[in-house]
Amino acid sequence: MNDETQYDLTHTKHKLIDKAGKTVLDQQFQGQVFTCTEGTEEESFKRLVFGTNRAYAPGAMRVKKGDFLFLINLDSDLLHGVFKAASDAKINIDLEAWGGKYPYQARVEPVGEIVSLKNAKKLLKQLGIRRSVPIGKKTVIRLLELYRPGILSTNQWFEFLTETKAESTVTAFPKEIKSWELLGEIRKTDNDAVGESLTLEATTLWDFPKQSYGKTPKGNNKYPGVTPASLIWNLVWRYTEPGDLVVDPMCGSGTTLDVCKEEGRRALCYDIVATRPDIVQNDARKIPLEENSVDLVFVDSPYGDNIRYNEHPDDIGKISSETDRFYDELEKVIKECHRILKPGKVLGWLIGDQWVKSRFTPVGFKLYDRLTRHFETVDIVCIARRGQASHTGIWYNRARRFNFFLRGFKYLFIMRKQGSQPEKTRPREIKWAYYPRQNEAKS
């Protein structure tokens, strides 16, 4: 960059200003990078739609009309720009695009002639940009500057970007390839977050250091036994689509409501004692919904009478998990969850074991036995327990001295309601791929 095009990002309101102090850009926006390959790039340009799959959907679905978008070809290592989102991200804007493989989409429009930057992966790494994750304003400005035509000053370029509307005569196919490495050092912009970006958990061990995520609280972290919001987030994004209906029949402080609101799902949440106006007071053993009407049910139930949730006489949390009655009552909830779920949809149930007065009760195993009478198992996840009253030095010392174990995890049982026509079980033939161990490979 020469003296004429220098810009200042140190202004307290992050205004882009020229040397004379004139404001070039003063508006709220963000950006995002979508991906393609040699096989999908042409269709992206022709249809003027960018898309992605479920793994990257949580970030991609945060695109809003007017955001600056870019497209990286993972095969050619080119970053195509500049585009603007012509719509908010939605599901299946173009049903025929890519044969339906990438349904989380945003319609785009090119801003002027499209230019491609070489060595895109290195550039994004140095800028700290990840695919399908919103990019902060200051980082977007740095990226946009790399596309600035040499004949335009910084002022002229950003005025063009913010004021120009794409014309139908402008082609989206790249016209020029540029090297950004000639401009000198390119590095990450500090303090440019646009909100916490979560990713789907890939293993069956989930550990969430914080109860909530993002800028707005999810539920009440002071509520006894409050659910980690990221746990519900993972279930919502794995097993539902935006607009689907999620039900939580024992919602406590309303974490499920808050997650669903932020992630674009409808939610109906109940509790035997409502803690806020948008929770319906209701006993989970009789849910006031029609059969086969719900896309996901999440339950974080009591696992005994160890926590005083409320003073309602019918609260299941007043029944000891050392008795069969506790599981009988929970099975009534299980049956209701099965009734309201659509065929093929999923129930997530969070519960822990109990150890009290030198007696261990495998609450999780006992509940799982009841669940399998009505559902088929998708998987079982271990949730690390944090924020427990027993997570103190004195309790760790007692556990070692008196030879017992503190509860370190809960079970998340992920169960599926069978379809209207249960599949016939058939013997499966599995061909395992065996890989040589390191020592064997050397020999």
pLDDT tens digits, one per residue of 72-121: 999 999 999 899 999 999 999 999 999 999 999 999 999 888 999 999 99
- 205-416 CATH: 3.40.50.150
Please state whether 264 falls in left (phi above 0), alpha (psi between -120 and 50) or beta. left
pLDDT at position 138: 86
pLDDT at position 424: 66
Q: Where along the chain do the CATH 3.40.50.150 domains lie?
A: 205-416
pLDDT at position 278: 94
Q: Considering all CA atoms of the chain, what is the largest pairwise distance in Å, rounded to the nearest integer?
A: 80
Q: What does the angle CA 100 – CA 416 – CA 55 come to, to the nearest 5 degrees? A: 35
pLDDT at position 338: 98
Q: What's the CA gap between 51 and 100, in Å, rounded?
A: 10
pLDDT confidence bin for 220, thresholds 50/70/90: confident
Q: What's the CA gap between 219 and 278, in Å, rounded?
A: 12
Overall residue count recorded for the chain in this entry: 443
pLDDT at position 96: 93
Residue 3 pLDDT greater than 70, yes or no: no
pLDDT confidence bin for 442, thresholds 50/70/90: low
pLDDT confidence bin for 195, thresholds 50/70/90: low
Q: 10 Å Cβ neighbour count for 292?
A: 13
pLDDT confidence bin for 164, thresholds 50/70/90: low
- The model's pLDDT over 266-282, given as tens digits with 9 standing for 90+, comes to 999 999 999 899 999 99
pLDDT confidence bin for 16, thresholds 50/70/90: low
Residue 296 pLDDT greater than 90, yes or no: yes
Q: 10 Å Cβ neighbour count for 412?
A: 22
At the second CATH level, the architecture of 3-183 is Roll (3.10)
β-pairing, 205-206 with 294-300?
unpaired
pLDDT at position 435: 77
Percentage above 70 pLDDT, the chain? 87
Residue 413 pLDDT greater than 70, yes or no: yes
Q: What's the CA gap between 168 and 317, in Å, rounded?
A: 63
Q: How much is the pTM?
A: 0.85
pLDDT confidence bin for 1, thresholds 50/70/90: very low
**Cis (ω within 30 of 0) for the bond into 82?**
yes
pLDDT confidence bin for 284, thresholds 50/70/90: very high
What integer is the mean pLDDT of 274-293? 95
pLDDT at position 443: 53
What integer is the mean pLDDT of 385-390? 75
Q: Where along the chain do the CATH 3.10.590.10 domains lie?
A: 3-183
Residue 184 pLDDT greater than 50, yes or no: yes
pLDDT at position 4: 41
Residue 196 pLDDT greater than 90, yes or no: no
Residue 439 pLDDT greater than 80, yes or no: no
Nearest to 195 by CA among 383, 431, 414, 28: 28
Q: What's the CA gap between 417 and 239, in Å, rounded?
A: 13
Mean pLDDT for all residues in the chain = 86
Rg for the chain, CA atoms, rounded = 27
Residue 440 pLDDT greater than 80, yes or no: no
Residue 166 pLDDT greater than 90, yes or no: no
pLDDT at position 136: 87
pLDDT at position 430: 83
| Adjacent-strand bridge partners of 36 | 73
Residue 23 pLDDT greater than 60, yes or no: no
Q: What are phi and psi of 206, to 5 degrees?
A: -115, 130
Alpha helices (H) along 63-136? 120-127
pLDDT confidence bin for 5, thresholds 50/70/90: very low
pLDDT greater at residue 442 or residue 139? 139
What integer is the mean pLDDT of 141-168? 79
What integer is the mean pLDDT of 47-68? 93
Q: What's the CA gap between 385 and 269, in Å, rounded?
A: 24
Written as one string, the DSSP assignment of 259-323 is HHHHTT-EEEEEESS-SSTTSEE--TTS--S-TT-EEEEEEE---SSSS-----TT-GGGS-TTS
Q: Which amino acid is at 216?
A: T
What integer is the mean pLDDT of 51-64? 93
